[in-house]
A and B are shown apart, each in its own frame.
Chain A
Amino acid sequence: MRANCWMGRNTVQVRDVADSQILNQRDAIIKVTSTAICGSDLHLYDGYIPTMEKGDILGHEFMGNVVEVGPGVSNLSVGDRVVVPFPIACGACNSCVDGLYSLCENTNPNAGMAEKLWGHASAGIFGYSHLTGGFAGGQAEYVRVPFADVGPIKIENDLPDEKVLFLSDIFPTAYMGAEMCDIRPGDVIAVWGAGSVGLLAMASARLLGAEKIIAIDRVDFRLEMAREKTGAVTINYEDEDVMAMLNDITAGRGPDACIDAVGMEAHSDVLPIQLYDRVKQAVRLETDRGATLRQAIVACRNGGTVSVIGVYGGLMDKFPVGSWMNRSITLKTGQCHVQRYTRPLLELIERGEIDPSFVITHRLPLEQAPDGYETFKNKEDECVKVVLSV
């Protein structure tokens, strides 16, 4: 079969690989129909996530049709159309029972590797380094899905792929980011990053009753999308003073909650901070650039919440611990517990309350995945989200 493989920093290739096969009794094989490139795939592409191996099949946002099920799967049949959550979860351990699916205790065969870096391990993830298990990803013709009786959600309507594909990651991730803000009537929510997750977090904050949404980015076409699609007020941090603008919009209070939808490759408009982080990251003294998270904490109102859904991998410097502690800021975060959200969010889509496909700007065949990565990385051609058809 054909699959998009990581071949080294800034290089992916669509190659011939062996066909997917059942390895565990509760596996299913899915024939992929649509798969997307995630902003977090760019962290792999850029070489900032350790433990990648040449030949790893990428992709953790995918959907398709079941073509084979293992003997332990009784709730899926050949021909079922499913969307697959990116974290692999067993459904039986204490974390899964508590709904913390991305912290499943059983699905990462390389948990020992993750424990060295993080103290405790998190769940296995499709196509996302060996630290999260070394599972082949879904940017391929076929993919093996472990615990297929737990994660995949059946799509039993005729909604097109584009409307439901993002239940695999970015819509639940964005929704969880907004939910962690505990939005109350009148709340002002600021979102750093107007990529697809940021945009969907803005739309989710709207659904959850936010009074006002503020989008912060440096790319004009993304800010325009935020204004048009989510009704956000926008700040281009390269042209405007973010703190002054936020204080003006909120009459000095600061946003009630701040969402970091950027993560480890943040940019800063303050040149010394940007240079400091770039240099330390380049020489591997710091794995994660922290400009967004620092600013989100400092900007947040006293007693407010900072919700982190952008991906971080290791360590960052200059955490504003004093601002965080003295001003009673609550910091919430996590890889999304997607399995918790697929059903209710599918219902929102079915009722027409949201159509997450508004973020799609590029549609390409799988064979052109390398072009998709380049265009997305460089934000060329007003790229926000690339969907690959298989």
Chain B
Amino acid sequence: MAASSAVTINRSEQEITSKLSQADPLLTHDVRISYAPAPGDRGTEVRVVLDQSVPGGALGQKVAAVVGSDPQRQLDDALRRFKQLVETGEVIRSEASPGGTDAKQQRRQRPAQPLPTDQ
């Protein structure tokens, strides 16, 4: 099953592609990325299609979705992180999600309090 995701980034296509080398590996391998100017001077629409299937058919997909490892979620996460990187310079971390946007981590949140050591 192909996964696809789209995001609007408030930057030019040129600025976006210049940051692509810093994106998650998922966005630099085995994906088709297309760009279009966002209407209303809102930057660039970025659309990504990933051709990768989950083993185990429909059940496998459900299991993968629950544990946060299905391609759709990974693609959504990767695009979110990339948007953060392009628009703000880095991936935003919170005390509960210190690794930043990650569907797997959303199911295993630590409390929203400072990390015990430098992490």
Contacts and interface: CB of A to CB of B under 8 A. Distances in A.
A207 interface: no
B116 interface: yes
Interface size on B, as a range, is 35 or more
B118 A53 contact: no
A21 B92 CA distance: 14
A102 B110 CA distance: 24
Given A57-B112, A92-B10, A137-B112, A110 B96 contact: yes
A109 B93 contact: yes
A57 B115 CA distance: 12
Given A92-B88, A111-B80, A124-B92, A136 B114 contact: yes
A33 interface: no
A93 B7 CA distance: 12
A83 B98 CA distance: 25
Contacts of A53: 96, 109-112
Contacts of B84: 90, 106
A254 interface: no
Q: Is the interface of B mostly helix, strand, loop or mixed?
A: loop
Contacts of A136: 95, 112-114
Contacts of B106: 110, 112-113, 130
Instruction: Report, nearest first, the 5 A-B pairs whose CB atoms are least far apart.
Output: A134-B96, A55-B111, A109-B97, A18-B114, A56-B112
Interface of B: 8, 10, 42-43, 73, 76-77, 80, 83-84, 87-90, 92-98, 100-103, 106, 109-118
28 contacts: A5-B113, A17-B113, A18-B115, A24-B92, A53-B111, A53-B112, A55-B112, A72-B89, A90-B92, A92-B88, A93-B83, A106-B83, A109-B93, A109-B96, A110-B97, A110-B109, A111-B80, A111-B101, A112-B106, A127-B112, A134-B94, A134-B96, A134-B109, A135-B95, A135-B112, A136-B112, A137-B112, A147-B88
Interface of A: 1, 3, 5, 17-21, 23-26, 51, 53-57, 72, 90, 92-94, 97, 105-107, 109-113, 124, 127, 130, 133-137, 144, 146-147
